[in-house]
């Protein structure tokens, strides 16, 4: 589906993404994301992997996508150590509109050594405080991050599967 690692400064904890058959929640494969999460580091305190829906739309998807009121869900698998120490590391699902204004779901503690669901429900109307437009979505993705107070780095892989919106 065209997943890439975010390369913007301040968002580089996910360094590489590839399709793999090593692990799957459903079907025969998933997205494997290489993570180098370093709490407090200006570039690796968090990271994102995303799909540009204009360049790489899923089959049958026309951009921009109207996601007003829709819920996006995915499944994540993380190994032992991904939760970190001190404050817990987290995962979020997000979208961005054509002005690159993001809407992020609630941050969810990473769960280790099992598949867990992460989701976001997109607002049904434009968000007045930020200008986010849910009818104009061009990017979808997943963010991993270290909370304030986290003390343990994580270097390894997380797996993302069954990324879908309804």
What CATH number should be reported for the domain holding residue 99?
Answer: 2.60.120.260
Residue 70 lies in domain: 3-165
Per-residue pLDDT tens digits of the chain, which is 166 residues long? 689 999 988 899 999 999 999 999 999 999 999 999 999 999 999 999 999 999 998 888 999 999 999 999 999 999 999 999 889 999 999 999 999 999 999 999 999 999 999 999 999 999 999 999 999 999 999 999 999 999 889 999 999 999 999 9
Residue 58 has a pLDDT of 87
* Contact in structure between 16 and 73 (CB atoms under 8 Å): no
Residue 109 has a pLDDT of 95
Residue 10 has a pLDDT of 87
Residue 1 has a pLDDT of 67
Q: How far apart are CA 53 and CA 39, in angstroms?
A: 30
Phi-psi region of 83 (alpha: psi -120 to 50; beta: other; left: phi over 0): alpha
Q: What is the number of structural domains in the chain?
A: 1
């Amino acid at each position: 589906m065209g997943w890439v690692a975010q390369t913007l400064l301040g968002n580089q904890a996910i360094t590489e993404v590839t399709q793999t058959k090593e692990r799957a929640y459903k079907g025969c494969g998933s997205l494997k994301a290489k993570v180098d999460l370093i709490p407090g580091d200006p570039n690796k305190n968090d990271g994102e992997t995303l799909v540009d829906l204009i360049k790489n739309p899923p089959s049958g998807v026309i951009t921009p996508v109207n996601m007003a009121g829709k819920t996006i869900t995915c499944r994540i698998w993380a190994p032992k150590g991904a939760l970190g120490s001190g404050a817990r590391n987290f995962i979020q699902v997000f979208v961005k509109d054509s002005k690159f204004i993001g809407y992020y779901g609630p941050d969810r503690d990473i769960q280790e050594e099992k598949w867990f669901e992460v989701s976001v429900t997109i607002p049904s109307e434009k968000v007045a405080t930020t200008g986010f437009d849910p009818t104009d979505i061009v990017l979808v993705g997943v963010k991993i991050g270290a909370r304030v107070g986290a003390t343990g780095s994580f270097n390894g892989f997380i797996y993302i599967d069954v990324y879908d919106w309804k």
